Structure formats: C-alpha cells, structure tokens
A and B are shown apart, each in its own frame.
Chain A
Amino acid sequence: MEGRVNWYSQLMAAFGIFVLVYSAYMVLSALLSLQGGRNDEAQYSLMIGLIGIALASSSLFLMRKRALQVKPPPEVFTVVRCSGCGFRLVRRFQVGDYVNADIGQCQQCNGRMTIASIYAESEGGAGA
C-alpha cells in the first residue's frame, strides 16, 4: 500500500515538474514573440505560461508540505540514576520501564539505581 502511494506521489511530482518546465518554455516563447512583434501570440503564451507556473508550483509545494508532515514517531529515552553517587545513564525505553522503578545495583558504588525520567525526543533533538 505504502509502495503504491510512493509510486503515485513520484508520478505526480514528475508531472508537476514537466508542467513547470513547459510553462517556463511558454514564457520564453512569449518573450521571443514580443521581440518578433507578434503581440497577440506573446500575450496568450505569457498567460498560459504564468498560469502553468502558478499551478505547478502550488501543487509541488503542497506535495512537499505533505511529505514533510509525515514524521516518524519520536524516540523515547529512559534516564536511570543512582541515588548514592548520582551516576546517570540514558538508554532507549524498554517495555516495563516506569519513573521511580528500581532497576538494580549501581555499577559504580553498589547503590540503588532508579528510573529518574522517561522522555520523548525526535530525531532533530528538538523534542517530539
């Protein structure tokens, strides 16, 4: 299903780029027509070219926006701290972890290690 959606998105993006390039060509041909004194031709080419550029850009922009909206779920980390020496360890969340859970003995001072906090952080590091 996801593969089909990707294939369709790629096809739509390719079509958008084709329309954008062709519209740019129309604008260029409008300028050439203007130089040749063919004003009517220039007017129509410019109109079609600009409409094409506006439509293709807006559709490509929307596609990009939608693609950026799909974010992977944030990574969740568990912070384990020793109540004796303050030794701190950050690791990925494991099922069964909860804040204040007793994790076992500290590797440094044999004190008790407990989960101090659990938080989510996205890949960019700016939070979920």
Chain B
Amino acid sequence: MAISTALQQGILGFGESGRLGTIISILMYLTFFIFILFGQRIQLRMMLWEIDGFLKRLDAMRSEARKKSIEMIKEIGKPKEDPTPHVDSLLEQFLIMPVDLDPAGIVWKIDHLLDVRDMKFKDDIRRIAPEASEAQINNLENLVEASLALNTIFRIVRHYYLLGKRTSSFYIILQLQMILPLVMQEAEALMGATRAFALGQPIGDGIGPLVVSKLLLGREKRRIEKDMVMGETSIEGRRVIALKAEGPGGNVGKPGDAIRRIIEELEGKVSAIIMVDAALKFEGEKSGEISNGIGAAIGGIGTERFKIEEEASKFKIPLYAIAIKESILDAITPMKKEISESADRAIEAIRRLILDRTKEGDTVIVAGIGNTIGIGQ
C-alpha cells in the first residue's frame, strides 16, 4: 500500500518527475557492466552452489548406506565387537588394475586380482559377521559393495569440486556440473540397491537367473564351478543344460568358467549357447522388453565374456543373446513387476531360438546371467 501511495504521489513515480525510472535505468546499466566484467565468475559461483547441493545429497546418501551396512552386520552377524572400524576400512578398499603396456594375457591377471578381491571381501565380511549364513554373507557383501560405490562417487565428486573451487577453473566445474545429473541418477540407484541388498530382495539384474530358475523348476541341480549351479531339461527334443549363479544370496558367480567346463565335459559337442541377461535400455524404451542378438550377453569388467567367447570360437559354437531391457535404476533396485513378468516371454524366446537354430537331439547351453539375490535354484 505504501509503495502504491508513493507511486501515486510521484515520490517514487515514473515519468519525468519520478526518480524510480532513473534508478532502474542506472541499475540496468550497472547490471550490464557487472555481467560483462564478472559474468563468468558469477556463473562459476552459481555452478559451485549447485554442485555443493548435489555434494550434500551424496554425503547424506553415503552416510545412510554406511549406517545401514553397520546396522545389518550387527543385526545379522551378531559380532562380539563393534564392526564400525572394519566397515570403514572396507569402504576405502581399492583395486589396482594390472599394467596394460603389454596387454597379452591381461585378462587372466585381472581375473586373478578379481578372485583375490572377492575372496578377501567375503572373508572380511565373514569375520565381522560370524553368525551370518553363506547366503547372508553374500547379501552383506553386496550391501557393503554398494556403500563402497557410493563412498567412492562422493569422494571423486568432492575431489573435483574442491579442485575446481581452489583453482577457480571454470572448465573443471563446468564438466562436473554437466555430468552430475547422471552421477546422481546412479547414486539414487545405488541407494535403492542398498535397501534391496539389506532385505535380500531380487533386483532387476536378476532376471537372467530368474529365467533359468523357472526353466529348471522341479529339476535336479548340481553345483558346478565357484558359486554356479546347473541343471538339465528338455525343450522340443533338445537337451538343454541351464546354469545360473547359486542363490538366494547376492551372487553373480563365474559363468565363464562354468560354460567352459561344460563345453570341455561335452568335448565341444554343443549346438548353441544362449545367454539371457538384463541389458540397459535407451530412454523411451519400455522396461521388460525382450530383444534377440548375437554374442555373449554378459556385463562386468570383461573377463567372463572373454572366457565364453574364447571357448565358443574354439569349438565354433554359435553364441546367441536374449536381452531384457531395463534402466540402470531398474537393474539394481527391487525387480519391477513388468521385468518379473518378462521371464515367461524370455523362456518363449529361448524356445523359438532353439527350434529355429538347432535340430532334435542337439545339446544347448542356456546361461542366466546376473545377480541372483532373492532367487533360489
């Protein structure tokens, strides 16, 4: 009211007698020069402010994941002493990749290092959670790994944020700001994963093992290689050997070693290898859609894929892939209904592929790739 009275009386009025018009004009010129001289600095400050907000959210996420890991270890593992220092030490663990100046034979070196890392991680969890069963140890291992990933993301983002702030480097800050929405998406997915791992719920990535478990329902299974199980069934007169990671604990197993062993046992007499795995969908595609392809459908660092490709090319066995599309968020959070329902359609796709590409009496290997948490044999 006071402003409108002032406007009416002309004290702050516009027009010839008013002063507000002049003030606004001066302010606009001033703003123009400020932006010309300090525009980039202002933009830098605004970007740093935005990154600071993201960093605070990442810090809250990693703290929550760490807290959840400690709580679950205490609840399930019933340790005699406080596991917090051990968990903190696990959250800072790292892996040094082998030197790649001479890349020949590097896959076996990476495989060895991954085995050592996996064994040590599991042993550490076993030590701090002595009462946990084998399946629970696998779940706790997955939970701590998700917390470790969140911790690493936070440390890397903080590193570049502080580096950019200290050096006032526009380009470091700009790159960080541009990539942060994607990083946050991954961090949100990891937070969802910690909930699933803590409770032992199946995740989207488990669709491959789910398909194989449905395929082998009521059939006899046996353990083959480390953390892998296999069973036999028959589809349209073909002998189908299906394999998956051993559940229901969080586990991906070593499908490369298992497939190699089966092929060697059968002396290469395998007509096809069909791999079923979750694959990242493009934006706009529906979760749970199925697509067929050629090649070894398996993610990870590449060692398992290398082994499968080596063995398949050695015996000239065709490699087929059935991919169930899902986003990164779907892959590591509790399995969505539409993904779970796609298992039957994937089995139908396997049946069609077997009918089209093999003859009666042939032997086919079907591998369900992915984390088998919450999915039994």
Contact = CB atoms under 8 A, between A and B. Distances in A.
B90 interface: no
Contacts of B260: none
A128 B21 CA distance: 55
B374 interface: yes
A59 interface: no
A11 B128 CA distance: 46
A29 B210 contact: no
A119 B336 contact: yes
Given A44-B24, A100-B377, A119 B247 contact: no
A98 B374 CA distance: 4
Contacts of A118: 201-202, 334-335, 340, 374
A21 B93 CA distance: 55
B334 A74 contact: yes
Contacts of B248: 98-99, 101
B4 interface: yes
Interface string A66-95: 000000011010000001000000000101
A50 to B, nearest CB: 14
A93 B336 contact: no
Contacts of A44: 14, 20-21, 24
Interface in B16-63: 16, 18, 20-21, 24
A46 to B, nearest CB: 11
Nearest to B343: A117
B374 A97 contact: yes
Contacts of B201: 76, 93, 118, 120
A40 B334 contact: no
B213 interface: yes
B376 A45 contact: no
Contacts, number: 94
A93 B374 CA distance: 11
A128 B374 contact: no
Interface string B273-297: 0000000000000010000000000
A64 interface: no
A38 B333 contact: no
B18 to A, nearest CB: 7
Contacts of B18: 40-41
Given A29-B4, A100-B376, A40 B335 contact: no
Nearest to B206: A99
B335 A38 contact: no
A94 to B, nearest CB: 9
A127 interface: yes
Given A93-B199, A99-B248, 4 more contacts: A44-B24, A93-B201, A100-B217, A120-B334
29 contacts: A29-B4, A38-B14, A40-B14, A40-B18, A41-B21, A44-B20, A44-B24, A74-B333, A76-B334, A93-B201, A98-B248, A98-B376, A99-B213, A99-B376, A100-B213, A118-B202, A119-B202, A119-B336, A119-B339, A119-B340, A119-B341, A120-B201, A120-B333, A120-B334, A120-B335, A120-B337, A121-B336, A121-B337, A127-B337
